[in-house]
């Protein structure tokens, strides 16, 4: 399996399971916020929101 095949498989899995994607994004952002200073919290949350919008339950059909 090449990189493109793996990427497409991951995109399909994300499209089929948006709640799981959101949970993973939330968990990852919490871990990053625990390990970084408060000054980065807003940026981390912004990135998490953008990722959820693109790949999670907030995403559209263009994923």
Task: Determine the Cα–Cα distance for residues 43 and 49; give it in Å rounded to an integer.
Answer: 10
pLDDT at residue 61 in the model: 45
Phi and psi, residue 14, nearest 5°: -65, -40
Within a domain: 60: no
pLDDT at residue 59 in the model: 55
- Give how many domains the chain has, as a whole number: 1
Within a domain: 61: no
Asked whether the predicted pLDDT for residue 30 surpasses 70, the reply is yes
**Which of 23, 32, 31 has its CA nearest to residue 57?**
23
Asked whether the predicted pLDDT for residue 2 surpasses 70, the reply is yes
Residues 4-25 pLDDT 10s: 998 888 888 888 888 999 999 9
Within a domain: 63: no
Asked whether the predicted pLDDT for residue 60 surpasses 60, the reply is no
Choose between 9 and 60: higher pLDDT: 9
Within a domain: 40: yes
């Amino acid at each position: 399996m090449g990189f493109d095949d793996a990427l497409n498989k991951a995109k399909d899995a994300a499209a089929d399971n948006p709640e799981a994607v959101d949970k993973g994004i939330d968990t990852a952002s919490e871990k990053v916020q625990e390990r970084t200073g408060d000054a980065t919290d807003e940026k981390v949350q912004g990135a998490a929101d953008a990722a959820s919008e693109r790949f999670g339950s907030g995403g559209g059909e263009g994923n």
